[in-house]
């Protein structure tokens, strides 16, 4: 596992990229971090992999369930990233009936996770992303929750903790 290179107050580099694939598209397309974060309030959560146990039973479904609470807080976008290809993320989103509530950002080439030092090695899976969540305001990280390495760690990166931290941030 690389040491996280990112901290609260850092700006997400504009030139990182993801792959996205919507239901009406045949081929993935590239979207830059600048396009995702510039001028927006974004909740981004990262998972070790689509269709894995904690990611499928808790992390993604809980963010979908809390969609309205985040919108009420002025969040423009909730996004999920994983070291999976865009086709896998699209099918995973369809399986969980995500609809347009969560933007699925494929980091199959690990450009985002590697640049921010959010990687880990998992047995039988190879290099994957750490589980995390962050609040990004106009490209700047305002809240960052990084879980301990491992596929099952899930203590601080969920939506309930993020909503609590957003409340605290509003009070400052």
| Residues labelled catalytic | 55
Token digits of residue 112? 């985002």
Token digits of residue 35? 């396009």
Q: Is the dihedral of CA 91, 67, 37, 166 positive or negative?
A: negative
71 CB-near residues (< 8 Å, 6+ apart):
none
Token digits of residue 38? 């510039």
Does residue 91 contact residue 9 with C-beta atoms inside 8 Å? no
């Amino acid at each position: 596992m690389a040491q996280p290179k990112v901290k609260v107050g850092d700006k997400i580099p504009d030139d990182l990229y993801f792959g996205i694939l919507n239901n009406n598209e045949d081929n993935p397309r590239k979207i830059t971090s600048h396009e995702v974060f510039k001028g927006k309030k974004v909740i981004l959560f990262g998972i070790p992999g689509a269709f894995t146990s904690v990611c499928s039973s808790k992390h993604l479904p809980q963010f979908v369930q809390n969609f309205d609470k985040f919108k009420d807080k002025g969040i423009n976008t909730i996004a999920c990233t994983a070291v999976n290809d865009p086709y896998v993320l699209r099918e995973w989103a369809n399986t969980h009936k995500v609809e347009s509530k969560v933007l699925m950002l494929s980091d199959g080439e690990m450009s985002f996770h590697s640049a921010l030092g959010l990687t880990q090695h998992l047995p039988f899976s190879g290099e994957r992303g750490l589980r995390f969540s962050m609040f990004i305001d106009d490209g700047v990280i305002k809240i960052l929750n990084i879980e301990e390495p491992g596929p099952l760690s899930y203590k601080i990166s969920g939506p309930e903790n993020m909503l609590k931290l957003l409340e605290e941030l509003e009070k400052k």
